[in-house]
Structures are given as C-alpha cells and as structure tokens.
Structure 1
Amino acid sequence: MAEKEKGRREGSPIPNNGVWRDTAESKAPLLKLQAVHLTRRCAISMAMASIVAPLLHGDAA
C-alpha cells in the first residue's frame, strides 16, 4: 500500500484495477429516480410520482 501512495505523491495516475464500471443496464433513467425520490418524500404511489415528477423537475429529455 505504501508503494501506491508513494506513486500518487509523485504524480503517477491511480491504477484502475479495482474500479467497477457502470453498465447501461445498471443506470436508472432520470424520471424513475425522481419518482422514487417523490415516493419517499411525499408518501405517494409510484404511479402518481411518475406523473408528478416531470411537472416538478421539468422534462427529463
């Protein structure tokens, strides 16, 4: 571990060995994330939150 820290202090890049890349399947659409936020905050159903989210946050597109 000391070697990696020493390398970073000298300006070498951090290795990407243990970094997980996001895949397209794991990224949720913005509208869904906004709707989930509304269901938790306002205690409404997911269907209602999906309708209200674009009105509150604007178009996701």
Structure 2
Amino acid sequence: MAEKEKGRQEGSPIPNDGVWRDAAESKAPLLKLQAARLTRRCAISLAMASIVAPLFHGDAV
C-alpha cells in the first residue's frame, strides 16, 4: 500500500510545489457575489453593497 501524503512517519512537511496562491483577480468575483447577496438581503444599491460587502463579510483589509 502506498504511503499517504498526510501520514508521513518521519515528520517532514508536505511540499507546496503544486499549490496555487490566491491572486487579486480571484477576489473580484467574490466581492461581486457578496455585493449581489447584500442587494437582495438588505435592499440597497449595488454600488453601496460593493463598498459594504468587505466589511460585512469580514474581508476588510
């Protein structure tokens, strides 16, 4: 049976060769989705929802 990546016995960390990092472009669709949800829930404009969405959902920088 092949050794699994999670269960390494010698305790060495799993390499991050195949892991992709988040880019700024990947956050724009999330902001649009969150703003659209706020417009439905709170009956506010899309412009106001796009400003408030990072604060409301906890993604404020």
TM-score normalised by the chain length of structure 1? 0.46
TM-score normalised by the chain length of structure 2? 0.46
